[in-house]
Every structure is written in C-alpha cells, then in structure tokens.
Structure 1
C-alpha cells in the first residue's frame, strides 16, 4: 500500500482526537492555563494588594513625632497600603483588633540606650510578613530623620534619602547589545515554560505511543495490521500521528494562555511588572521549536521500540522505566541549571543527546554559548536521532512479532540479524 503510512497516521490522529480522555485532558489543561493567564489580575484583586488597605492602630498621644513621621512616610508613597488609625487607649486597640477594625496595632517601650523606643506590632497572626516588613522599613527611616533632623537642611535630607538608581544587564560577548533585566526575565520565563512543555510532551505522548502499540500487540490486532502495513510504516505512522495531535493540543493550550495574558487588564499589570511579551527573541523561538521537535522524535522512537517488545500492558510500566528516568534526569538537571547555566555539569550534558534538548536550549535562553557549542550539540543530536530511529525501527520490526515473555537483549539482537528494515 503506497499510502499505508498516511493511513496509519490518519487512523492514529482520529482515534486520539475523538477519545474522551484527550478531550477532557485538553479542556482541563486549557482551563488551568486560562487561570494562569489571569493570575496577575487575580493576585492583584484577591491577594491583598491593589485597593485593599491595611489599617494599623496606635494609642493617640503616644510617641507623636514617630507617628507623625510614619504618617508622612506613607502619605508620600504612591498607592500606599497602610493606614494609621488612632484609638484612645491600648484597651480600645485590642478591642478594635478583635472586632476587625484594625489589622494590628503598634505599642512603644522607651529604650534610652538607643534613643528610640522599642516598637511592637501586635496582630492576630504571628506571620504578618508584608505589613511588618513595611512598618520596619518606615520606622528605620523615621529614626534616621529624627536623628538627623537638627543637622541637615531639607535639600541635604532629600539627597540622603533619594533611592540609588540601580539596574542589571546581561553582558553580551557578541556584536549584539546585552539583554536588559526585563528581556532576560522574559527569556528565562520562556525557557522554563519550554522545558516543562518538552518534558510533558515526552512523558505523555511517548507513553501514549508505547501503550497503543502494546495494546494492539496484546489483543493480537497487530497480526492483522502487519499483513497490510510494514512494521516500519506502522511505527512512523503512529509517531507522526501522535505528534500532530500533540501539536494541535499545544496550539490550543498556548493560544488559551497567550490570549488571556494579552487581555487589557493583564497587559497593564504585566507592564507594571516590567514584563513585555514583545521582548521575546525570535531566534529563541526558532531554537525552542527545533529542540522540541528533536526531543520529541528522539524519545518517541525509543518508546515505540520498547512498546513493540512488550506483550502485556501490565509489563509496560517496568519496561519504559529506563526511558522515564532519562527524561527525569534531563528535566531536573535543566531546572537546577537555571541558576548555574555555565557550570561544568551543564557544559558536559549539553552534548549528551538524551539531555541536550533540555540543556542546550536552557543555555541558549539564559547564558551565551559559543556558536560552535550549539553546532556540535545540534549535530550530535541529529545524528543520534537518525541512529536511534534506525535502531528502533529494527527493534520494532522484530518486536511486534515476538510474543510471550519480554525478550532479552540477546534474543532481540539475534532476531534483528535475521531481518532487514
């Protein structure tokens, strides 16, 4: 059959696209990504920031200079989220806290040795990190102003308390300009997402391929299929069909995420955070597509080969464990390598084909590997895909016709010598 490859590919696609598990999983993941895409907005509205103000009480008449300094400090902060509320006494402060009129209140104890009172922030919870940190920073500045109040004029005090202009920039050793902090942040975010997507693609679609092949073999359907379609066309038809389904799913999921991130309310929040989706490097997107394809086909052929030598689906989990461990090792090395992309471990692993789809893309995204490093890594990866694809095809050719217990490596090699792909 001249069109047998496309027939297997189309059959695989139809089965997966119509399956309830695929539809439900895609819908659930899309909903999760819609939530993630609106996370900046949800955090802004529900996370205690934005218009929500924390009311902090104090006893009227106590430590008037400090209270005046705190009031001035928070008045000068744009969109301040702390409001000082006076109460008649500490007893009323405790009642206001109990009734929810204030989130906490301040008490003062004189400390003559320091020249500034000890301040305690009293609240219902021992973990008031955000408000407590804000008050601590404000009190530190109030203390400095009180100490320096008599020795400096207003202009000198303004210069003293003016924030230092400080930013970070990635140094580039090519002719291009270095990446700014915002561009580097976007690149790191994209790299992180790509690594997770590749890991999910390898784990989910690879196991789907192996499971389908094993299920056909255990139900003896494989014996009928091999009379019409050669094993090699079967293998690549299933791999390509599953790949197209995976691409459709990824397009749906990425579309849901990007569509929600670009909504007006999210665009404004991302802009405030210094995140601009337009800062994504086009070359990084090209590398992302290449390493995704390379990683998928490298592992898909391995999963197909393993699935072909297993006669029962109950034994499949144990059989694919070595491949699963390889993907996990590559994934975790990449995640930990986000902090040290130029470490010796990363420099070595970028040339190992089972890890390079994760590691090389990571280094391109967050470091600056030399052009020859990229060329060598890609060359080794492509050669490995061709070699592993050829080997997997030979294993698949003999594996689909071997029943009973899982054959040993020696038996597989002996059977491979008897057949040509």
Structure 2
C-alpha cells in the first residue's frame, strides 16, 4: 500500500468538492483503508446512516502525472532507437489514455454502473452502488461492501469458502467480460477483489477498464474461428485486421509461424489443455515471435494481456488445479457462435457468408499480385554479412548503457506514480547520467 497522504490535505480536498465534512457525513475515519498511486479510500457514514467508502484523489496529482508522462515519452524515444521493429508508441499512448481516465472519478462511477448492469443476472458478482450526489471528478462515494481480500487465504479457509469454486467464479467473471461484454476490469490485483461466503466476489476500483471495439471483436471472432478451422491464412488476416501484424506485401512468414503454432496447440486434448499453463503458452509464442515476423500490440490489447496475466496468477494461487483456458472455453464458443441456434445461428452464418463475399475481390487481387510476383528469393553475400556484423559491433558498445538508462527512466516513472518521490529522483538522475554517457560514446564512434 502506498504511504497515505496526511488527513488534513484529504479533508481539504473533500471539503472543496462536497462541502464541510461535518455537514455531509455523520462520521469520517481519518485513517484510510487503502491508498494507491492516485488517491486513497476512507470509510465514512452519511447523515442518513448509510455506510460508504470515499475515494479521494490526491491534491496536485495531475501535475505529477503530467511530469511522469513527459519522462515516459523521453524513455520511449530512446527505446525506439534500440527496438525499431517493436511499436513502442502504443505503450505511451495507452499509458497516457489510461492514466487520464483514472483521474476522472465521474467516469469511474459510470464504469462501475456499467459493470453492475452486465452482472445483474449473476448473483455471485457484486459491484458497489455509486452515490452520485456525493461524487465529483475528484471524489468518488460508493456503497461499503464487507469482504475478505482474495489473497487472505487463512480468512477464506476459516469462513469455509471453497477456493476451487472461488477460482472458477473469478475466471468465469473475466471470461464474460472478455468474450461477451467486451468491457473488462483492467486491474485484477488482490486489492481490488474481495470475497464473501457463497462464494461471492466483490469487484472494486473501475478506473482502469478497457473496451474491445466492435471491429476488433469481429476480427477476434474471425481469429477464433480460424483456429477452430485450422485456417492459418485466415488467422493471419484476422491478426492483420486487428493490428498485431503490420500489413506487408508478403505475409507468408507470418502464415508459416502461425501454422507451426496451430500444429502445436490446436489438437491438444482437454487433459493436455488442463495440464498447460497459460504463461507457458505465452512464453512459447513470444519466443517464436523473436525469430518470426515483426509484430506490434494494438492499444486495445495491451491492458487485455496484462489482465489475463494477472488473472492467471491469481487463479493459480487460489487453486493450482484450476485452468482458466478450460473455464473460459464455453464463453469462447458462445463468442464465435458455436452455441447459436435457430434464428441466431442463421444470423451468425449469414454474417460470416457476407464477410466472405465482401472480402472476395480483395482476396482475388492479392492472389493475382502474389502469383505475378512469384517466389521471393533472398541472397546474402559475405560483404552483406560483414557490414551487418560491424553495425552490430557498434550498437553493442552502447547497448548495455542504453538498457540501463532506459530501465532507470522507467523505474523513475513507476516509483513516482507509486508514491516514492525520493527514490524516483535518484532513478531519474541515474537515467540521465547513463544516457549522457551513451550520447558521448555514440558521438565518439
């Protein structure tokens, strides 16, 4: 937990936004129940007796975030020189967007209400009610829900809550977000998830959420369908449409890579799937991409990947035998239309046929271009190799300095955001010294 801001500053912020504390609340606890990078949470009671929690944004946090974003932009520029094949700009733009949305508590309140509507039919998921008369862009007032932190395993066991069932409920909730709702909670760390007997899960903190757009969902649906049909080319085209693979004249290297991955994972039995770790699959795919075609992560999927990784780790801690891929499979089948029946099934097939007809002229044109171009030949001469080795040698002299400098720069940003200004300052100074050293080295070479 980030060190809390002194209560007088918090009280001043609440007074500026809502009015004097004694006029709005019958009680207001001075010690926060939680504190994070942008604000802290206090328990309180309204004049009508309702027990609530008040999330208060730190005074002056906007200026701090603006400075951190400028620092991140500088670090990204350095990293872009080292990794030109990777689209690092999306990291900067996505970070800026997410932080900007997190600073608006009115938007967070709207997000909470959207999630409450999405899970209205699921009694196992609870979302706190927003008290709009006591909510502004800087202060968010929510219903207080009593729960156990999801990683407090001793308390969970004492309450007799089945951890295996709890892991399943959590995985199903996120599968619904990802595959059916298209809007997902982007920060599933233990401080944002609580449990109570049932088991029931309480989700809080809806500042970091993301939505998968309709075009991206349609491309994602085609990607899943291509996996089911063992259609490597179709999967690559879907990945191109989603922005994972840059649109180039020759997509055959990407098709070959996808074909290899499909052959490895497509025919796994349910028993084998259950035995696999999603982190293991991710590491294998990333290792393949190191030798395959250049890829980039679209903005809409950066937070998605982070959420899946955090969810997998949390589920494994709750119950090592729970496999989130297996739990999510029914939701994925519904997503691609595998369970559609009657008119719904006809609509799915009609949309699929319509997409194929629309894409036919484009596919035919690409086929004619590829056929006319013939097989691609690549020739490498000894001179080419020598030149490349000399380039690698020059870059290698500054690589360690660049990585250390960029790493210190990123550390400075993260330390500042998480409430460690002194450590952030030292990391920033170290980054500046290392990058200056790198600049002098490059100037000499």
TM range (shorter): under 0.3
Higher fraction of strand: 2
Find the structure with the greater CA-based Rg.
1
Higher fraction of helix: 1
TM-score normalised to the size of structure 2?
0.21
TM-score normalised to the size of structure 1?
0.22
